[in-house]
Structure 1
Amino acid sequence: MALLFGINRPAVAYSMTTLGSGMMNAVFYFYYVKLFLNRYKISEVAFHQAQVVFMIWNAINDPLFGYIQDNSKVQCCNRRRHSILYGAPLYALAFLLPWFPWKDYSAGEWLIGLHLVVALCVFDGMLTFVLLAQCALFAEMSSKHESRLQLIKYNQVASLLGSSSILICGLVSDNMENFANFQVFTLFLAIVSAACMCYTGVFGVSQYENMPKSFDSSRAVESDLSWASVLTLTKQILTQKNFILFVSMNFFQVFHGTFCSNFMIIFADNLIPKDALPSYVRSIMYGAGFICPQLLVLTNHYLLSKIGYYKVILYIFYIEGIMSVLMFLIGPQHYYILAIFLTANMVLVHASFSLFNLPLADIVDADLEKYKRKSPLSSMVFGTNALFTKPAQSLAPMLVVTILNQYGYDHLSSKNTVPDPSLFLGLHDAMFNLACAVPLCIAAVQIFIWTPYSIRSSHVVSAY
C-alpha cells in the first residue's frame, strides 16, 4: 500500500466511506425507534408490520446487490468504487427520510406506518449498495493480513470520528428534544457524509480493478445473472463450515447491537432519574457508546496482531457475560453503575463487530482458493452473510417493544393518557431484566458457536 508522508493513502480512501456512513448510521439507528414511538406515536401493530416488511427486504437486498456487483457489466456496479461514488448521494438522501414527517400526524394513523416502511427500506437499500461495495473493497485491496490490519486501524479512526455525530447531535438537539435543531443537524450531516463517501468513489482502487473481467468454468453461467447461477454460487459459499459458524454467531451479534442502539436511550431515560444524570451527561454517555468502541479497537491493535481476532472476539463474549451477571446482582438502584454498564455493554458489542471484516475476508480467501476462482466473490460472501444476519435488525425491536408494551410502555409514552403509577415498577423491572438478560444469553450462545471456528492463524501467516 502506497504511503505519502507516513499516511496510507489507499487506507484513507477506504476509510472515508466509513466516516460518512458511520455519521449517518449512528444517528439513524439510535433515534429512529424513539422518534416513531414517542414523537410520531406509531401503533404497535403498524410498528411490527413495518419491521416485518423491513426484515424481508433487508434479507433479500444484500445477496441480490452482492450478486449484481460481482457480476454486472454496468459501470455503476462492476467497480467497487463506482458503486460507492454513484450510491453515496442517494444514500445521504435516504438518511433524511425519517426526520421530516409527511404531515402533522395524529397518534396511530396508518400513514406513520407507511413512512416507517419507506424510511427503513430505502435507507437500508442504499446502505447495502454502498457498504457491500466497501466491504468487498476491504477484501480486494490486499490479501496480506498486515495490510488488512492497517485498513482496520484507519477504519477505526474514521469510525471514531463518525461516531461523534451522536454526541454532537445530542448536545445540539438536547437528545432530540429540540426537534428543529435536530432536523437542521441531519441536513448538514447528510451533505458532509455524501462528500466523504464520494472521496472513496474517486480514490478507492481495488487490486482487481485493472484486471479484465474473466470467469472460470464454474462461473460460466454468471453472465446472464440467472437465478441458477445465484443458487450455485450461494450453495458453494454455504458449504464452508467456517462461514456457517460465523454467520450464526453474527446473527446474535447483529441482534445484540441493534438492541443496544435502539433501546439504550429508552432504558437510560426510564431507569435513571433526570436529577441523577443531567442531560449533557447523558449526551456524553450516548456518545461514548459509539465513540469508545473505536478507541478500544485502536488501543488493542497490537493484541490483534499478536493473538488474532478469533481470541479477541471470544474474550469479549466472556466479558459481556460476566458484566451482565454482576450488574444483575448489583441491582438497578445504583444509577451510576447502571449507566456505566449500559455504556460498556454497547462499547464491547460495537468493538467486536468492528472486527468482523477480518473473518469475512479470510472466508473470501478460503472460497477463492477452494474453487480456484480468478477473482473473489467478495460482495456475494458479504451479501450472503447479510441474508442470514440482517433479519435480526427487525427481530430485536419487534421483540423488545412487544415485551415492554406488555408492561405498559405504550401507555407511558402516550401524551393523551395519564399512565397508572403502578405500571412504573413492573415496566422498570422489565427494562432492567432485559438490559441484563439479553447480553448474558447472547454471550453464552455466541461462545458456544464461535469456539469451533477454525481460521485462527491468519494473523501469523503472510498471504501473498
Structure 2
Amino acid sequence: MGRRIWDFWKGDVSTALLYGSLALFTSILHNVFLLYYVETFVSIYKIDKISFWVGETVFLIWNSLNDPLFGWLSDRAFLSSPQSGSFITTPEVVLKRLKVFSTHGPLFALSFLAFWVAWATPGLQFLLCLCLYDGFLTLVDLHHSALLADLAVSASDRTRLNFHCSVFSALGSFSVFLSYSFWDKEDFYSFRLFCVALAAFSILGFLLVSRLLRHHFQKEVLLRQNEAQTLKELSVGHAPLVHPDQPVTIGQYLKQLSKHRNFMWFVTMNLLQVFHCHFNSNFFPLFLEHLLSDNISASTGSVLLGISYIAPHLNNLYFLTLCQRYGVYRVIRWLFLLKLGLSVAMLLAGADHIYLLCIFIASNRVFTEGTCKLLKLVVSDLVDEDFVVNRRQQAASALLFGMVALLTKPGQTFAPLIGTWLLCVYTGYDIFDREPAKESVPVAAPGSGIPPVRLGCFYLLVFVPITCALLQLLAWSRFTLHGRKLQGIKALRQAAHHGHLMDVKAI
C-alpha cells in the first residue's frame, strides 16, 4: 500500500497537483490582503491622507519595477550561449525556481502578517508593509508563472498545469468567505488569529510542496550529470565545443525585445485587459450602489461579490478545455467578441432592467478575469518564440513575464484615474467628495428620468468594455503566434533541447 502511494506521488498527476497547489498558498493570503488592507489602515490604524497617498505612490513605482528587476536577476545567467561545452539543463532551472518557493514563500506569508499588528507609525508601517509584501509576492508569482514555461512545452501539458492552478485558486478564494466571520473593526483579535492560521497553513504548504517537487528534479539533475560525464569520457582526444557568444546585456535584451512584434502586440492587448480588470474591481462597489442598491438586498449584493471572486476560477476550467480543442488564440478572440456583444446588448436594453444589470455586472467581471487567467499560456508561448528566435541557451521565462508586467501594470493606475475623471466630467460627481451625491449634482438628467450619477455609472459600465473590446480585437488580429507558426516554434524549441528538456509527463 505504501509503495502504491509513493508511486502515485511520483506520477504525472502529482506534478500537476503540486504545481497547482502553489497557487492555493498564494491566493488564500492575497485575497484577504486585497479586501482588508486599506480598511485596516484607514479605519483601525487611522492613517492620514497624505501618508496614505505617499505610500500608494511609492508602492506603484516599486510594484512596476520589481517584476523586471527580479526577472533579470533570476534569468540573466540564461541569456548567454553555452560556453566550453557547459549547459544549464531544464531540471537545474526548475530547481532554481523551486528554491525561491522554499525560502521566499514563507517570507511572503510572514510579510502578510505584518499588516495586522500595529508595530510602527501608520504611515511608515503602511509603506514598509506594502513594499515588503509586494516584493515577496512578486518573487513567488513570477517564478510560479515561469515554471509554467519551464515544466512543459506542449500546449496540452501547459493547459493541464493551468487547469490545476485554477482549481486551487478557486479553493483559495474561500478564504474571503471565511474572513467575513472573523472581521470586526471593534474587536480585531479574532481576525489576527485567523490571519495567523492562514499564514501558518501557507508556510507549511510552500515548504512541503517545494520539497516534494525538488525531490523529483534532483534525481533528474543527477541523471543528466552522469550522462554528461559519460559523454565526456567517450570524447577523450576531441577538442571541446566552444561557443564564442558573450552574455547578453540588458540593453541588448531590450533591443531584441523591441523587435519582437508578437510581444509588442500582446503587451498592447494585455495593457487594455489589465485596465479593464482593475476598472471592474475598482468600480464594482460603485455600480452596486448607484445601479442596484435600491432594487436588490444586501445579501444579493454580497452574492454578486462572491461570484465575482470564485466564478472566474471555475469558469476558467471550461475555458481551458476549449483551449485544448481550439487553441488559446481563438478562445481569447471569442471572449473579446462575447464581451463586445454583451456590452452592446446591455446598452440597447438600458439601465432599467435590473436583472439584466445583475447578470451583466457579474458576467462582465467573470469573463474579463477569466481572460486574464488564460494570458499566462500566451506569455509561455512568447517565451518559446523568444528562445527560438534569439537562440537562447535557456528560456528566460521569469524575465519575459517580468517585462510583460512592467509594460502592463500601468493599467492598474489608469483604471481608477480615467474612471473617476469620466464620471466627474459627465455627471459632476466627485467620488472623493464627502457630501452626498444628491446634494452635489442635479437630481435628474433632462428627458431621461434617470439621476445623472446613475446614468453616468451605466454608461461607464457599458462603454468601457465596448471600447476595450474593439481595441483588443484590433491588436489581437495582428498577433501571429498561433496555428502552424506556433506549432513550428514549439517543435524547434523541443528539438533544441532534445535530450535536455524534460516534459511534464516524464516527471
TM-score under structure 2 normalisation? 0.76
Q: What is the CA deviation profile of residues 128-154 of structure 1, one whole-angstrom value per residue up to 9, with x for unaligned ones? A: 111111111111112222211210111
Correspondences of 1:180-259 after superposition (within 5 Å): 182-205=191-214, 210=221, 217-218=244-245, 220-221=246-247, 229-259=249-279
Residues 1:371 and 1:429: Cα distance change in structure 2 (over 3 Å): same
Alignment partner for residue 472 of structure 2, among 443, 446, 463?
Answer: 446
Contact 1:68 / 1:77 at 8 angstroms: preserved in 2?
no
Q: What is the CA deviation profile of residues 46-90 of structure 1, one whole-angstrom value per residue up to 9, with x for unaligned ones? A: 6554443223212211111001112469x9998000111111122
Partner Cα distance (1:18, 1:410) in 2: 35
| Residues 1:380 and 2:399 aligned together | yes
Alignment partner for residue 303 of structure 2, among 271, 277, 284?
Answer: 284
The count of residues paired between Structure 1 and Structure 2 equals 441
Contact 2:333 / 2:476 at 8 angstroms: preserved in 1?
yes
Contact 2:94 / 2:147 at 8 angstroms: preserved in 1?
no
Residues 1:177 and 1:443: Cα distance change in structure 2 (over 3 Å): farther
Contact 1:97 / 1:119 at 8 angstroms: preserved in 2?
yes
Partner Cα distance (2:395, 2:189) in 1: 47
**Structure 1 stretch 80-89 or stretch 189-198: which is displaced more?**
189-198
Percent identical: 31
Partner Cα distance (2:477, 2:25) in 1: 34
**Structure 1 stretch 432-441 or stretch 342-351: which is displaced more?**
432-441
| Residues 1:330 and 2:349 aligned together | yes
| Residues 1:155 and 2:139 aligned together | no
Contact 1:252 / 1:446 at 8 angstroms: preserved in 2?
yes
> Which residue number in structure 1 is paired with residue 497 of structure 2?
none
Q: What is the one-letter code of the residue matched to 1:264? A: F
Structure 1: gaps of 5 or more residues: 104-110, 223-228, 413-417
Alignment partner for residue 80 of structure 1, among 88, 97, 100?
Answer: 97
- What secondary structure is seen at the aligned counterpart in 1 of 2:374? coil
**Structure 1 stretch 58-67 or stretch 161-170: which is displaced more?**
161-170
- What secondary structure is seen at the aligned counterpart in 1 of 2:392? coil
Residues 1:440 and 1:195: Cα distance change in structure 2 (over 3 Å): farther
Contact 2:95 / 2:217 at 8 angstroms: preserved in 1?
no
Partner Cα distance (1:46, 1:321) in 2: 40
Q: What is the CA deviation profile of residues 81-101 of structure 1, one whole-angstrom value per residue up to 9, with x for unaligned ones? A: 011111112212333444555
> Which residue number in structure 1 is paired with residue 140 of structure 2?
130
**Structure 1 stretch 92-101 or stretch 189-198: which is displaced more?**
92-101
Q: What is the CA deviation profile of residues 246-297 of structure 1, one whole-angstrom value per residue up to 9, with x for unaligned ones? A: 1111111112222223332343244332772233x33332221121112212
Shift of 1:115: 4.8
Partner Cα distance (2:42, 2:423) in 1: 12
Q: What is the one-letter code of the residue matched to 1:13? A: L
Structure 2: gaps of 5 or more residues: 1-6, 79-91, 229-240, 442-450, 495-507
TM-score under structure 1 normalisation? 0.82
Partner Cα distance (2:157, 2:129) in 1: 37
Alignment partner for residue 22 of structure 1, among 17, 21, 27?
Answer: 27
**Structure 1 stretch 90-99 or stretch 159-168: which is displaced more?**
90-99
> Which residue number in structure 2 is paired with residue 397 of structure 1?
416
Could you say which structure has the larger radius of gyration? 2
> Which residue number in structure 2 is paired with residue 91 of structure 1?
108
Partner Cα distance (1:385, 1:315) in 2: 23
Residues 1:187 and 1:76: Cα distance change in structure 2 (over 3 Å): farther
Residues 1:326 and 1:353: Cα distance change in structure 2 (over 3 Å): same
Q: What is the one-letter code of the residue matched to 2:96? A: R
